[in-house]
Amino acid sequence: MRQEGRRRVAGNTLAFLKNHAPFNKMKAEALQAFADKAQLVFHSAGSEIVGPEAGNVRFFYLIESGKVQARQAGEVTVTEYSILSLGVGESFPIGAVTAGRPSTNTYTAVDDVFCYQLPAEDFMQLMTSSPEFNLFCTQYIASLLDQSRCQLQLQFAQRANEQQTLNSPLVGIGSRSPVAVAPETPVRAALETMSAAKVGSLVIAGEDRKPVGVFTRSDLLDRVVLADLPHDAPISQAMSPAPFKLEEHATAYDAMLAMATHGIRHVLVTDAEGKLTGVVSERDLFALQRVGLRQIRQSIEGAHNVEALQQSAADVRQLSFNMLAQGVGAEQLTQFISALNDALTRRVIQLNLENHNFDGIEWAWLAFGSEGRDEQTFSTDQDNGIVYAVPDGLTVGELKTRFLAFALDVNKDLDRCGFPLCKGNIMASNPQWCLSLDEWKEQFSQWIRVPQPEALLNATIFFDFRPLFGKVELAEAMRRHLLAQTSSNPMFLRAMAHNALDVEPPLGKIRDFLTDLEPDHPGKIDLKKYGSRIFVDVARIYALATGVHNTNSVQRLRLASKRLSIRDDEVNAVLEGMDFIQFLRLQHQYLEGEPGTQGDNLINPDDLNELDRRILKESFRQARKLQTRLKLDYQVN
Amino acid sequence: MFGIRKFLFKDGSPAHLPDDVKAAIEAWRASSGPQLDDAHFHVRYVVIDIISSGLKPDSDELLGIAAAGVREAGMIVPDDAFYLDFSAIEGEGEAQQQAVDRQLMAFLQFLAKAPLVTYHVPYVGGFLQRIYKERLGIDFQPNWVDLAWLLPSMFEEKSHTLQPLDHWLDLFGLASGSGRRDAMENTLMLARIFQMLLVRVSAKGIDTPGRLVDESRASSFLRRTH
């Protein structure tokens, strides 16, 4: 009678399923399969149902009663998360369970919740056996995004594997030009070589470049100083003979194992003939796993020179890449990159302040453009400036000269850390953008009074400013001035709106996309120019119109739409569209760009998969919707 | 009263039972139940409801049993359920009687000496006790959790007095519209309340099945006599 028991329990589930999409459209067998396997579980109000820490998602959840809140999670510290409320008949986390990865959201029971939970393997089974269910899972816009993320993850996972796991061959790890001396070299000369090369270990190799020993700093203590070895004795008397060697094609894991087994800190890497080609240290292996948010932050804050910061900058890129691979959304990711880049910039400024003294002067370092909006992608050049208050007894001219010298140093150091100098020279070292508070206010007023094309262009860069270092109040004073000016100049906002409508999303009447807008790049779409910039421009106008202090476009749109009483679901659709375009940009910059080079924003829509093409089209539609609204609000034809 | 019965009907299988059932009874007797001092998560509970011809266990007839396992501190799995409708048992005469006995035995095996949860133990337990005594010669004395008495003491904010089950379903927001529920639907309703109860009692430090059974006994004793 157990079959009968199961049939009746499942029958109970079936009765529920038949009242909810997409299950009500599914065929009887598929529905029965769901009901036969679905477990009913209770989650008390406030308890977490599933989250990123729970590891790979084991169940597909369908809410039977109660409400569930989905909250974006991650090691990202951003102020605003997108929060989603799910009710009876809704299911989660479709993307994660499909991909067999941890959920990127935390799902919490808002009140007492009963959920049907379908084990992941039964869910996958259902996906293949029921076209209706499959369609539902792929159509749902959030799951669309998620799904596209998981496809991406696959690509990334492969690259991530090649790049940085312990499976990497030793040939790409550690020092490629190890410092080596001959066995007969006197101890003193060997030590001088070490000191000059600033290394802690030395390889002893014969003329045939076959290593015969290793000499490290700890050997210095035990075998030279304490052993009273004369400084003209050959280094072979102090070295550890018969060093541990691995061939180039051995993996980092082999090296780690060898170090653990033999209690050594260095492994020599040789080619097939046994000739020395490199050294891998414990630190090199550690570095493979080092890339984590906290470690990077600590290393940035503890960096004593630009060289150390260069390493951190590389780590930021690596970590953002890993996060992208883990499916972290574009909004979080860009804010995250910005947060770490901020820390990096601050450190560069601090280091340079050691050579430039501004005691007693109020000033602030400003970030403009995408950096000012917290929307940096992997390849962003510098956009910065300085604002200062002129104290009594000093002239603007004097102060400007001092700040310019300082800014030039900072700009150069930032360039060395991977933030290329701005081609448009929007940098603090440019006298035009190294201004006193009064000069900035006057500059803003002038642009707003006379909205010439150049002024409007400048407005799109300079009105997105954010203080990165120094006296925040100065930037706030600038912001108050700006908002007061724009709200009393409707003509200016109209001109901005006009400008923002110059470029339209590349949606074709017959074809899906217009790909001939850029004469130099036929067949491609500039995702920045025809995509994210549209959102950013509209967000800026509404923010200025409604007195929103934020510079981030997502926050601007959210806050402005609240003030304008625009419906949440409407805004969310817009934000999702924007998020997706940003995400494609990040993906493109990382997958197509050579590591360390500046990626572009040009994509060929034919290269996208069917899923991404559809979402991209929908995202552009959202951009167009946003523009239509702007047109109406500002009466622009 | 139970003590006297136990005395009158000494444990032992009645002679008329088929050998396989006799053997199964012996095996069941020899088997050990779950550790009641283990965490709720590790112990499987079984939620039970019955259908009967009336409310008097001593004279009315038991018509059906519906039961569902609740494991891992609150999970209902369709595979772990049991439904017995005595009127649906086919066959005639002795064959039918043996089929009934086998089903009763199968139910015991399904229970596997798990702690049992129901609404109003004297009613449900009374019928089960009688049928097992009469047919299999078994003194059916499982560990009971009686929601009827336990709910008022664990969910005082909802009601602190004894209530009909339907009132509780309303209070928990579980009322599933109109119409009669069959025994399995009732069992699943009870199972849901039990899922909620498990969260509540764990928060109150009642963290093992043993303690829950004790709490159930205490609540029914206190409420009935004070």
Q: B29-61: per-residue pLDDT in tens? A: 999 889 898 888 889 999 999 999 988 988 999
- A74: closest CA of chain B, how far (Å): 28
Other Cβ atoms less than 10 A from the Cβ of A445: the count is 15
Question: How high does pLDDT run on average in chain A?
Answer: 83
Using a CB–CB cutoff of 8 Å, tell me whether B97 touches chain A.
no
Would you call B184 and A112 a contact, using CB atoms and an 8 Å cutoff?
Answer: no
Would you call A9 and B107 a contact, using CB atoms and an 8 Å cutoff?
Answer: no
Would you call B77 and A36 a contact, using CB atoms and an 8 Å cutoff?
Answer: no
What average pLDDT score do residues A253-261 get? 73
A74 phi and psi angles, rounded to 5 deg: 140, 170
Q: What percent of chain A is predicted at pLDDT more than 90?
A: 27
Q: What is the pLDDT of residues B122-160, one digit of tens each?
A: 999 999 999 999 999 999 999 999 999 999 989 989 888
Surface of A (3-62) touching B: CB under 8 A = 4-13, 35-42, 44, 47
Backbone dihedral region for residue B93 (phi beyond 0: left; psi -120 to 50: alpha; all else: beta): left
Range in A77-81, A185-189, B13-17 with the lowest mean pLDDT: A77-81
Backbone dihedral region for residue B76 (phi beyond 0: left; psi -120 to 50: alpha; all else: beta): beta
Would you call B81 and A5 a contact, using CB atoms and an 8 Å cutoff?
Answer: yes
What average pLDDT score do residues A447-457 get? 90
Cα end-to-end span (Å), chain B: 21
Residue A74 pLDDT: 46
Which residue does chain B place closest to A47, by CA atoms?
B199
The tokens for A251 are: 């993996």
User: Could you identify the residue written with the tokens 């099945």?
Assistant: B209
Q: For residue B184, is pLDDT > 80?
A: yes
Angle at A589 between CA A586 and CA A590, to 5 degrees: 85
What whole-number distance in Å separates Cα of residue A242 and Cα of residue A205? 11
Q: What is the pLDDT of residues A495-507, one digit of tens each?
A: 999 999 999 999 8
Q: For residue A150, is pLDDT > 70?
A: no
Residue B2 pLDDT: 45
Would you call B84 and A1 a contact, using CB atoms and an 8 Å cutoff?
Answer: yes
Q: What is the pLDDT of residues B57-82, one digit of tens each?
A: 889 999 999 999 998 888 999 999 99
What whole-number distance in Å separates Cα of residue B187 and Cα of residue B78? 13
B78 phi and psi angles, rounded to 5 deg: -55, -35
Q: What is the pLDDT of residues A572-606, one digit of tens each?
A: 889 888 988 988 888 787 766 554 455 678 888 88
Cα end-to-end span (Å), chain A: 74
Asked whether A170 and A324 are in contact (CB, 8 A), the reply is no
Residue B104 pLDDT: 94
Residue B126 pLDDT: 94
Using a CB–CB cutoff of 8 Å, tell me whether B75 touches chain A.
yes
Would you call B81 and A35 a contact, using CB atoms and an 8 Å cutoff?
Answer: no
Strand-pair category, A466-470 with A363-367 = antiparallel
Residue A153 pLDDT: 53
Q: For residue A160, is pLDDT > 90?
A: no
- B179: closest CA of chain A, how far (Å): 14
What whole-number distance in Å separates Cα of residue A72 and Cα of residue A149? 15
Using a CB–CB cutoff of 8 Å, tell me whether A132 touches chain B.
no
Residue A273 pLDDT: 82
Name the 3-class secondary structure at B158: coil
* A478: amino acid identity, one letter: M
The tokens for A551 are: 């510079």
Using a CB–CB cutoff of 8 Å, tell me whether B66 touches chain A.
yes
- A47 vs A597: which has the higher pLDDT: A47
Would you call B82 and A1 a contact, using CB atoms and an 8 Å cutoff?
Answer: yes
Q: What is the pLDDT of residues A299-314, one digit of tens each?
A: 888 888 888 888 888 8
| CB-CB neighbors (< 8 A) of B83 in chain A | 1, 4-5, 7-8
What average pLDDT score do residues B2-11 get? 44
**ipTM value > 0.90:** no
Residue A151 pLDDT: 52
> What distances in angstroms separate CA A244 from CA A234, A262, A266, A430, one per listed residue?
21, 9, 8, 55
What average pLDDT score do residues B176-198 get? 84
What whole-number distance in Å separates Cα of residue B71 and Cα of residue B77? 8
Q: For residue A147, is pLDDT > 60?
A: no
Q: What is the pLDDT of residues A373-428, one digit of tens each?
A: 888 776 678 899 999 999 988 899 999 999 999 999 999 999 998 888 888 899 99
Which residue does chain A place closest to B104, by CA atoms?
A1
- A442 vs A632: which has the higher pLDDT: A442
Reported confidence tier of residue A222, pLDDT bands at 50, 70, 90: confident
Asked whether B77 and B60 are in contact (CB, 8 A), the reply is no
Residue A634 pLDDT: 86
Per-position b or e across A568-606, b if 16+ CB within 10 A of its CB: eeebbbbbbbbbbbbbbbbbbbbeeeeeeeebbbbbebe
Q: For residue A77, is pLDDT > 50?
A: no
